Chains A and B, each alone.
Chain A
Amino acid sequence: DAKTTQPPSMDCAEGRAANLPCNHSTISGNEYVYWYRQIHSQGPQYIIHGLKNNETNEMASLIITEDRKSSTLILPHATLRDTAVYYCIVRVADNFNKFYFGSGTKLNVKP
């Protein structure tokens, strides 16, 4: 089952950075942290993932604490189109690498 805890909702002003936290205190050493987002009635969209180092791509940055028990997804300049439910997922480290979704954070970007 999901090994993550996220706040149910957050607000962010358009143009500002959105910082979405995630707790995964029971994460194992070989389990990755993934972030996806889901815009209403669509399939989830991959954002970024990491193991222990901070990661950055064209969409976002992922900051993982040194003890790996929590992470933060950063959208540097949020736009109205970033309004979505953001899911932090710990990928199960077995042969299937399953993804179990928690309840996610609804990010509301406001003008």
Chain B
Amino acid sequence: GAVVSQHPSRVICKSGTSVKIECRSLDFQATTMFWYRQFPKKSLMLMATSNEGSKATYEQGVEKDKFLINHASLTLSTLTVTSAHPEDSSFYICSARVGWGGNTIYFGEGSWLTVV
């Protein structure tokens, strides 16, 4: 299957700082990428849909000023957690849809964020 890579896989940051997580599609172009977060022993929660060259679409209840998403190219989307707090600590996972109107999405390995 298609390969989606996230970086960093683990990050620890201080409360009040911002942290950026990158999501790259390595062997295909992804016009649409999705960002999820997952708490321990819980399911994945869709945060936002990221479209190349346009503003992200956020799910209800997700603060767009808190979670900044940029999809500047067909192979890269970034999630920036601004002014992070301990409650933002979570597993963040991106996924990418293959090509235009592709049916299947592939997931990255996930990024663990710990805010201390």
Residues on A lying within 8 angstroms of B by beta carbon are 2, 32, 34, 36, 38, 41-46, 49, 87, 91, 96-104
Residues from chain A with Cβ under 8 Å of B45 in the complex:
101
Task: Given A98-B34, A103-B43, verify A46-B1 contact (CB < 8 Å).
Answer: yes
Contact between chains at A44 and B44 (CB < 8 Å): yes
In the complex formed, the residue of A with least CB distance to B40 is A41
| B32 close to chain A: CB less than 8 A | yes
7 sample A-B contacts, Cβ–Cβ < 8 Å, listed by A number: A44-B107, A98-B34, A99-B34, A101-B43, A101-B44, A101-B46, A102-B43
* Cα distance A96–B49 in the bound complex, in angstroms: 8
Q: Quick check: is B69 within 8 A (CB to CB) of the other chain?
A: no
A46-B106 in contact given A97-B97, A98-B34 (Cβ < 8 Å): yes
Within 8 A of A (CB), among B57-116: 57, 91, 93, 95, 97, 101, 103-110, 112
Check B32 against A96 for contact (C-beta < 8 Å).
Answer: yes
What chain A residues lie within 8 Å of B108 (beta carbons)? Answer: 43
With a cutoff of 8 Å between Cβ atoms, the chain A residues found around residue B95 in the complex are 43-44, 99
Interface string of B1-32 (1 = CB under 8 A from A): 10010100000000000000000000000001
